[in-house]
Amino acid sequence: MVTKNELTAGSDVESRCLKCKQITNHIIVAMVGEKVAKVQCNVCGGRHNYRPAEPAGTAGVPKTAKKGKGQATGGRSARQTKAAADHFAEMVAGRDPALAKAYAVTATFKQGDLLDHAFFGLGLVVATTQPNKIEVIFREGGKILICVLEKPK
């Protein structure tokens, strides 16, 4: 007997996407036996290992690398995070997120540009440092990114 609705490469499947931080539709790009191995997110286009939409018991819980000791993580309070988010909302008020340029190290940005970062999301270029650094405000705070800068006049 053959099951008709077997999943194959090219099928749609729901999977958890780490970039989108939610369950999104994915296309299966690779199978291992009868199991889905790799999928591509329809939303962000990211390829990653298949993560079932719902955790199946204790199996398949990814082991995350332990954070190194002595790293200053988690120092940011919830209040600071909210302040950063509010600040960000003010900065991009009235700006059209659709005009954001996708961030890449080879992309060109200048002060005032909106950018769309695959991981951090929407950001606003608030400062540039020659030859190749930009300071960007994201919802979660400021980051320094590398990119191509327009030559100073």
The 3 state secondary structure assigned to 59-115 is: CCCCCCCCCCCCCCCCCCCHHHHHHHHHHHHHHCCCCCHHHCEECCCCCEECCCCEE
Q: Does 38 bind Zn ion (CB under 5 A)?
A: no
Q: Extract the tokens encoding 42.
A: 């329809």
Q: Does 83 bind Zn ion (CB under 5 A)?
A: no
CB of 48 to Zn ion, least distance (A): 8
CB of 46 to Zn ion, least distance (A): 5
Q: Extract the tokens encoding 106.
A: 């080879």
Is 103 buried (19+), middle (13-18) or exposed (0-12) by CB count in 10 A? Answer: buried
Residues near Zn ion (CB under 5 A), total: 7
Q: Does 41 bind Zn ion (CB under 5 A)?
A: yes
> Which of 13, 23, 44, 149 contacts Zn ion by CB under 5 A?
44
Q: Does 118 bind Zn ion (CB under 5 A)?
A: no
User: Binding residues for Zn ion, per CB under 5 A?
Assistant: 17, 19-20, 41, 43-44, 46
